[in-house]
Structure 1
Amino acid sequence: MKRHLTLAAATVLLLGAGACTADKDKEKESQAAPDDSTCNELLGDAGLKWLEDRTGGKARLKVEDDLKSARSQFYRQVENWGPEDTGVPTFQRATVCLARTDVTDMRKQLEIRYGPSYSSFDTAFGEPSTTGEKAIETVVNSDVKLVHGKETRGMFKGRVHYRVYVKCKIPGTPARQENEIPIEGELADTLTGDTGARVHLTRLLHSAKVVADSFDCENKPVVPAQPPASVK
């Protein structure tokens, strides 16, 4: 049996293999890089205008996980939870929107992430932490609360972090799942230079409504467009 290919035969095989690899690469790229429409939906027209104004139109949007992926991640993790579980869970959160003016600089970015909360909805987030910092908790309604406060450690020490918690009952899960593992949304902004809590929490609430609607929560949580008047 001959072990060597002719030059022509080898060329045909290489070209064929190259075509298959290129097709697979294109397919992989299309699966790994969702388009920016998720960011557009989560920020809304007002949020996009705010981001444009604050960055001089230089912000570039990136989506690592679209809403379908975020929903799938949330369902899978919550469905694996049980009230008898002990210990600290290892939940993952989906990065549904990322904005930077310099794609290589993580120190200046606006990031929105969603996933299961490590804390129950009833947690008193406004109590002083072990580091002495005190977060500000704002109850919006029976299904939604907002929390914001400064980070106390790490490379982003001093940055204000904004969070929203939304009760979301997933079909087939144990009773009180929506209270024990609500949706947690996070918004962190070192990009715009805007220090106002109200504008950030307004952006976060808009994204939370989009997420809650796309997750098909059985309890139909009501997520308003604006935080309470007490938030300045």
Structure 2
Amino acid sequence: MRRVSAAVVLMSLLMGATSGCGKEKAEVDPAEERCRGALGGDAVSWMDSIGAKDYRASRYDDLDIVGNTLKGMLRTWTGRENSGDLNYWRDVCDMSSDTTGKDVRFTWGESRYAFSETVKKEKEVLSRLTRRDTDPKSKPDYRSSRVNSDVLLTFLQQDSREVPFYRVYLRCAVPGARDSQIDGDPVAVGAIGETGSRLDGKNVFRHLLRSARLLAKRLDCQNKPQIPTKVPASMR
């Protein structure tokens, strides 16, 4: 990715195949398995089709550890005033191609904002970043869709030359957490595209919604959030 510093600023402000009988099993890429576990096989096939064919080596713990750590963070959350700027998130799938320049990264983690304040806060972030940009041609893009009481989709890109951010925010009441956690410390499932491009929003959010369902199952969300399978038209 080019212009990495802009992406870092925005992130800080926001957050197997087997062979036939009698043959040895083919070696399975652990990074590919990680992607399949976090997103499902359809997402892997889609990323292959757009040219992001190379799985980057896993830089973090496996999905069980990521899910259990996130669940523990949500369970012990004591209030946003006590959490400061710290929030837990990890890459769960990272694919790229030096040949095509495609780069797609998916993440699981905590949201930086309370669920009810997410849209307002993200718009404020985008506004601050836009004011720093002295280029008069800069055209920020922000969209959101509240699917139901528990699910929110957002898209943010400071400019068409910058990094696009796709997010699914989820109210998830974790067993053993305080009552305020469901609204105060929601879950964020995200995707980050390559600098200066935009992915097919319908496909990105379709795979993010599936990933959110997989994560909700791992977290044992007691409120049973109704995560849709269809992407709202405004986010395509």
Q: TM-score, normalised by structure 1?
A: 0.72
Quick one: distance in 2 between partners of 1:148 and 1:87? 25
Query: Quick check: 2:38–2:63 contact (8 Å CA) kept in 1?
Result: no
Q: Secondary structure at the match of 1:184?
A: strand
RMSD: 2.9
Instruction: Give the counterpart of 1:208 among 200, 212, 234.
Output: 212
Per the TM alignment, residue 79 of structure 1 is displaced from its structure 2 partner at its CA by: 3.0
How many corresponding residue pairs? 193
- Does 2:73 correspond to 1:77? yes
Map 1:87-98 onto structure 2 (within 5 A): 88-98=84-94
Identical residues among aligned pairs (%)? 24
Contact persistence 2:155–2:235 (CA under 8 A): no
Q: Which has the higher helix share?
A: 2
Alpha-carbon distance in structure 2 between the residues aligned to 1:119 and 1:84: 8
In the alignment, the residues of structure 1 paired with residue 176 and residue 107 of structure 2 have an alpha-carbon distance, to the nearest angstrom, of 25
CA contact (8 A) 2:129 2:158 kept: no
User: What is the aligned counterpart of 1:40 among 15, 18, 36?
Assistant: 36
Which residue matches 2:129?
131
Q: What is the match of residue 67 of structure 1?
A: 63
**Counterpart check, 1:114 vs 2:76:** no
Structure 1 gap segments, 5+ residues each = 1-32
Partner of 1:136, secondary structure, is strand
Instruction: Indicate the SS of the match to 2:147.
Output: strand
SS in 1 for 2:165: strand
Higher RCO (CA-CA < 8 Å; seq separation 6+): 2
Cα offsets for 1:192-226 (capped at 9, x unmatched): x6632222111211111111111111111121122
Deviations 1:44-103 (A, max 9, x none): 233222112111x73325443332111122123223321373462411212111112249
Q: Secondary structure at the match of 1:207?
A: helix
CA spacing shift, 1:109–1:120, aligned 2, 3 Å = same
Structure 2 gap ranges (5+): 1-28, 131-139
59-68 or 177-186, larger mean C-alpha shift: 59-68
SS at 2:93's partner residue? strand
